[in-house]
Structure 1
């Protein structure tokens, strides 16, 4: 099997699975219980939080454990909007966000909030000046992804963070789900107030994640109850999940420099091989994140090619797994100005640290073979 759908989810690292099992078996007591057994669980949770903070170079009280990217993004966006609605109702985002951001913003529009969806250029990148110009007196939030989940385009979030510093009443949220472990992001003194990461994108487990909440940033909780996670995310903590997530972050940080370099080399090789195919059009810009290449094969429905490759034991995707079963057309490519033949035939190939050069060669050969076979059938 050749798995090239790592932007949808990654294979859990064996060490992550082991850390989850050990924590689940030994520390199953509720961290809120007042007996000694519960106290041991609470100590482990505290240690996991501190370790996550150390790895991310932030304070332990800025780490909120969540169930993943969707919850983190919703808490950041809706939590900010509901908390600060008396001060303003204007939100700035981009036209190429993940559904967990765009749909959250759409939901707030139904409640009377005003959302500005900034356009992007042909590479899927927003203008820093456009963000600056969009800020109004009643703006309360800027929310955008660091790395686009379909194209791999990298947004200038560090520069936008500098803009946000000049507007201290505006909260700046970054969806770092696709960037973690692929494009480093500095949080301290960055102007970033909220930042979302997800465990299953970095060889951790589904149902685990972190929302970084900069000290002094206030949110309205979406879940009320026992007051866990600094009262921002009530509910009995997923202790084993938190422990496993910290393990995944540690492993990804240890391998980050060499892993990114390895993926850059593979991406360059793959781009060269794909560009040589007459039927294939590469959509991903050259300065994109190292793990994603998006291509179009005009005239072919993407699911047909995906199934043809799947029969050969090779797995890629069309777009975000959260929307891959909806319309064929890629909204992201459409926003970049591509024509219908490109937007309706897009494929996403996404790499991991352990992807090999041999797998890239095998995939490219299989794609070319599948296109030729399908062309013959169509003729």
Structure 2
């Protein structure tokens, strides 16, 4: 089996799974309980929070645990909107955001907010000048992902931070789900970023655990109310075992960052160079300013799901675009926003590599690709 769908989810590291199992088995008290078992769980919870904060160069009080990226994005977009509605009701998000951000923003329109979608270039990068033109006196939030989940384009978070340097009334949110472990922290977690979203299963932790960074002093309304956990900002009993596992996974991901980048880029480059030799292949992920692990392409006149299943027959697993929308059969929203035609966008498939992959798998993929390409000749 060859697994090239790591942008959708990653395999849990053995050491991470070991941490999860040990904590779930030995530290099973409710961290809100007053007795000793609760105190043990609370200590593990806070130690994990501190480890994550230290790894990110932030304060423990700025880290809040969630169930993953979707909840985190929903919480920041909606929670900030309602917290600051008295100051303004205008929000800007990029046109290539993950549905968790974009759909949350569009839902806010039904609650009386005004939403602008900032356009991107034909290469998939935020058009900074056009976004600047959208800023108004009543703008309260701008949300731009660090790196796009469908094609891997890295967004200009540093430039956005500079643009907002003299606009303290505008909060800046970064969806960092795809970026962590694949980009330097300083490229997307600048001092100007007020909120950032992370999801554990994207960096080899267990599913169902994530966290947000919320800068000290920045207020946000709770999405979940009830027992008052997470400093009364996110009520529900914390998944202590999952949180401890996520802290371990984040440490491992960041420790191997530099060594992993060169390996990922080398594998991606081999695939891109080979695919570019085929006349009916369109490559959507360019070479510069893209994540080293994501390569998106299409075979002309062949729908993405057809290509995915053709590789699946050989136990090679790739994706159409976003795993969240692939079953719906939707064309890649990012490509549509870039001006790619619906017909071409529907051909898109995504390879997303991981440090666990190797060049032998790349060679096997390219061998099978040659067969798939030949089999589709009549349709093309």
Alignment length, in residue pairs? Answer: 378
Show structure 1 runs of 5+ residues with no match: none
Please provide the CA RMSD for this pair.
1.3
* Contact persistence 2:56–2:185 (CA under 8 A): no
Q: Which residue of 1 aligns with 2:134?
A: 134
* Contact 1:65 1:229 (C-alpha < 8 Å) held by counterparts: yes
Which secondary structure state, in structure 2, belongs to the residue aligned with residue 242 of structure 1?
helix
The equivalent of 1:213 in structure 2 is 214
Aligned to 1:344: 346
Counterpart check, 1:282 vs 2:258 = no
SS in 2 for 1:322: helix
CA distance in 1, matches of 2:203, 2:189: 22
Q: Distance in 2 between matches of 1:166 and 1:297?
A: 46
CA shift at 1:324, angstroms? 0.3
Paired residue for 1:24?
24
Distance in 2 (CA, whole Å) between partners of 1:51 and 1:327 is 40
Contact 1:195 1:213 in 2 (8 A): yes
State how far apart, in whole Å, the 1-side matches of 2:4 and 2:251 are: 23
Instruction: Return the match for 2:298 from 285, 296, 299.
Output: 296
Q: State the distance in 1 between where 2:265 and 2:150 align.
A: 17
Q: For 1:279 and 1:16, locate their aligned partners in 2 and report how far apart those are by CA, in whole Å.
A: 42
- CA drift of 1:189 comes to 5.3
**Residues 258-315 of structure 1: per-residue CA shift (max 9 Å, x gap):** 0111111111111101101222111112121101001011111111111111010100
Aligned pairs for 1:192-203 within 5 A: 192-203=193-204
Equivalent pair of 2:6/2:353 in contact (CA under 8 Å): yes
**Matched ranges for 1:47-58 at <5 A:** 47-58=47-58
CA distance in 1, matches of 2:39, 2:85: 39
1:306 aligns with 2:313: no
Q: 2:244 aligns to what?
A: 243
**Per the alignment, in what secondary structure is the counterpart of residue 172 of structure 2?**
strand
Counterpart position of 1:124: 124
Counterpart check, 1:222 vs 2:201: no
> Which is worse superposed, 353-362 or 337-346?
337-346
5+ long unaligned stretches in structure 2: none
Q: Does 1:331 align with 2:329?
A: no
Paired with 1:316 and 1:331, the residues of 2 have a C-alpha distance of 18
Is 1:268 aligned to 2:259, yes or no? Answer: no
Q: Indicate the larger mover: 179-188 or 50-59.
A: 179-188
- Does the CA-based 8 Å contact 2:73-2:100 persist in structure 1? yes
1:84 corresponds to: 84
